[in-house]
Structure 1
Amino acid sequence: MTFGEQPAYLRVAGDLRKKIVDGLLPPHTRLPSQARIREEYGVSDTVALEARKVLMAEGLVEGRSGSGTYVRERPAPRRVARSGYRPAGGATPFRQEQAAADARGTWESSSAQAEAGGAVADRLGIKPGDRVMRTRYVFRDAGEPMMLSTSWEPLALTGRTPVMLPEEGPLGGMGVVERMRAIDIVVDNVTEEVGARPGLAEELLTLGGVPGHVVVVVQRTFYASGRAVETADVVIPADRYRVSYHLPVK
């Protein structure tokens, strides 16, 4: 293979991908068999198998037990808002979107006290094992799971206060900024790191994906005068949603 030349399995996957994107292999069409790929492209069984694996990992095709591999339905990606803008009332971006008359979003959450693991402790600037309030969310659009989120808040800050439970009490659901302000903590900065990885089995089970599907992970941390007051992981299926940012210009 010369410099810059693609491996055979990527060239085969690329051609099949183009046929899918161009509509020559429409949704629910059976992908050519491994033997057919081998004959059509003049490649080995191993190359044909690897090409099919690439398309499956990209979410373009799916295997059906006892039937074969088929082109997946590809809905137009929808938008998930991430915003630096907060209107009066302190609603989160998701709740802002759901204020629209035609919105179909719902969410459910559960909170429990836990010990901070090493990575979470590092993000919050606390010691591993320190107590945190962990809240897990499932967000849905018209009943379809669209986003997961897990947040952690140091109980050294919120414990024994009216805002200890993020979704309960007088400020339940109002968002980190408003809740912290109620206990005289002024949030003045937020960071978000965006990455992608294969979804974990339990994430894909909830989100309706198959093994190998990629998820976008937004790692968010709120700060007050340099001290982290909340950190969260937001997990979004990359094949169905795009992350949209609305940032104020000062």
Structure 2
Amino acid sequence: MRQQPPYLRVAEVLQERIARQEWSPGDRLPSRSELGEEFGVGDNVVRRAQELLISQGILEGRAGSGTYVATPRERVRLVRSRAREERGGSPFQADMAGIGRRGTWESRTDAKVPAPAEIAARLGIAEGEPCVRTVYEFLADRKPVQLSTSWEPRSITAGTIVVLPEGGPHAGAGVVNRMAEIGITISHAVEVPEPRHATDEEATILGIQRSALVTHIRRTYVSDDGQAVETADIVIPAAMCELVYEVPINP
């Protein structure tokens, strides 16, 4: 068997010691150098172990102060699957209802925003082409748990009843259902998740520590004729949410 990486071993021991209440919620852990000396590893190994436990909501980092045992809290489960899109309604609200929470969101839409270079590339359009941009803040029991910025080429929806994602008779129905109303069938979505640190603005909105770990998902919906109809940047705080992917298996 392959030997366990040192940072995982350190994380495991720290978690066990917290479980034994050697440190209680709110307690400050020894410095990285002190822990490194105790475990016989370098500061970078301790840092990776602490970052892993921070992402799991077990520890929290406080800028300029150190690393502390976090107050236990239930992580919200967010499911990414094809089935969640096919069942209709809001997938986010369905996820929240499944864990006994009330899912809502707040949004702001700008109807004619020039596409930045990266967004244009993801949508397969020219840089500067007008898009409908909608910024979302998703709430579980009125507390923010997810951020999203959505871009749709205005050339696709202009003059239709679904041009505004959160306006008109199909407000809040989601991209898949809205596009179906104007004869566009979305065949699949491409998602590229990556971990990173929260920006100061994201940390303020989500109520998390500065530079806390988040999962940044670049999602693009593609129609059955291969056209990208929407792309979004989704930000999910690791300590607050458990991200789950369901992969369909065709028999």
TM-score, scaled relative to structure 1: 0.80
3-state DSSP of counterpart to 1:55: helix
C-alpha distance in 1 between matches for 2:232 and 2:163: 16
Determine which of 90, 93, 104 is the counterpart of 2:91: 93
Cα offset, 1:68, TM superposition:
6.6
| Amino acid of the structure 2 residue aligned with 1:238 | A
Does 2:242 correspond to 1:242?
yes
The answer to whether the Cα contact below 8 Å between 1:64 and 1:70 also exists between their aligned partners in 2 is no
Q: How does 1:175-190 map to 2 (within 5 A)?
A: 175-190=174-189
The answer to whether the Cα contact below 8 Å between 1:77 and 1:242 also exists between their aligned partners in 2 is yes
Does 2:50 correspond to 1:55?
yes
Cα offset, 1:159, TM superposition:
1.6
The answer to whether the Cα contact below 8 Å between 1:115 and 1:131 also exists between their aligned partners in 2 is yes
Cα offset, 1:105, TM superposition:
1.8
| Amino acid of the structure 2 residue aligned with 1:114 | V
Q: After TM superposition, where is structure 1 displaced by more than 6 Å over at least 4 residues in a row? A: 4-7, 9-14, 47-50
C-alpha distance in 1 between matches for 2:36 and 2:104: 49
The answer to whether the Cα contact below 8 Å between 1:17 and 1:55 also exists between their aligned partners in 2 is no
Determine which of 35, 38, 41 is the counterpart of 2:38: 41
Cα offset, 1:221, TM superposition:
0.9
Cα offset, 1:24, TM superposition:
2.0
2:213 aligned residue: 214
TM-score, scaled relative to structure 2: 0.79
Cα separation, partners in 2 of 1:51 and 1:228, compared to 1, 3 Å: same
1:72 aligned residue: 70
Cα separation, partners in 2 of 1:242 and 1:69, compared to 1, 3 Å: closer
Deviations 1:99-158 (A, max 9, x none): 559332221111113111111111100011111111111111122211111110000111
| Amino acid of the structure 2 residue aligned with 1:24 | E
C-alpha distance in 1 between matches for 2:16 and 2:98: 37
Does 2:28 correspond to 1:26?
no
* Higher CA-based Rg: 1
Cα offset, 1:163, TM superposition:
0.7
Cα separation, partners in 2 of 1:61 and 1:223, compared to 1, 3 Å: closer
- The answer to which of 119-128 and 19-28 deviates more is 19-28
Q: How many pairs were matched up?
A: 241
Fraction of identical pairs, as percent? 38
- The answer to which of 212-221 and 151-160 deviates more is 212-221
| Amino acid of the structure 1 residue aligned with 2:139 | R
Q: How does 1:74-223 map to 2 (within 5 A)?
A: 74-85=72-83, 86-87=85-86, 90-99=88-97, 102-112=100-110, 113-223=112-222
The answer to whether the Cα contact below 8 Å between 1:57 and 1:212 also exists between their aligned partners in 2 is no
Cα offset, 1:233, TM superposition:
1.4
Cα separation, partners in 2 of 1:70 and 1:116, compared to 1, 3 Å: same
Contiguous gaps of at least 5 residues in structure 1: none
C-alpha distance in 2 between matches for 1:239 and 1:63: 14
3-state DSSP of counterpart to 1:62: strand
Deviations 1:25-71 (A, max 9, x none): 12112323689x3897399xxx6799579636852133388x87532
| Amino acid of the structure 2 residue aligned with 1:245 | Y
C-alpha distance in 1 between matches for 2:174 and 2:39: 58
The answer to whether the Cα contact below 8 Å between 2:10 and 2:39 also exists between their aligned partners in 1 is no
| Amino acid of the structure 1 residue aligned with 2:233 | D
3-state DSSP of counterpart to 2:18: helix
Provide the alpha-carbon RMSD of the alignment. Answer: 3.4
Cα separation, partners in 2 of 1:26 and 1:87, compared to 1, 3 Å: same
Deviations 1:179-230 (A, max 9, x none): 1122222222221222211112211111122123111122211111100000
